[in-house]
Amino acid sequence: MPSDRFLPPRPGCAVSIRIRTVDGVRVALCAAETDAEPGDLYLDDGDHYALAAKFARDWQGQTVSWTYPEQWAAMDTQKMRDAEEELRKWLAAGGAP
């Protein structure tokens, strides 16, 4: 059974995320790559998938090339592990996708 810090994706869904404020900057983080902290807003696979679908519909057919250097820098300071590696370990331990 995966720990509460890593919940594997359900088939057809994205991955769960944490919304966190880092040094005054609000960011979205991969839940598999971070540990929970007080004040985090947790969005499960379904919530994340719904937001991704909304974004895709709103910007369908348009080129999206925005950059968010402040947010991306803050995100980089929070990553503790690699999500793909965590998934490989979980699958090797008998987890099912």
Name the band, by pLDDT with cuts 50, 70 and 90, for residue 3.
very low
What per-residue confidence (pLDDT) applies to 97?
59
Three-state SS at 9? coil
In this prediction the pTM is 0.73
Determine contact, residues 18/28, Cβ cutoff 8 Å: yes
Domain boundaries, the chain: 1-60+68-81
Name the band, by pLDDT with cuts 50, 70 and 90, for residue 39.
very high
Please give the residue that has the higher pLDDT: either 4 or 59.
Answer: 59
CA atoms within 13 A on the CB side of 46: 0
Name the band, by pLDDT with cuts 50, 70 and 90, for residue 83.
confident
What per-residue confidence (pLDDT) applies to 13?
47
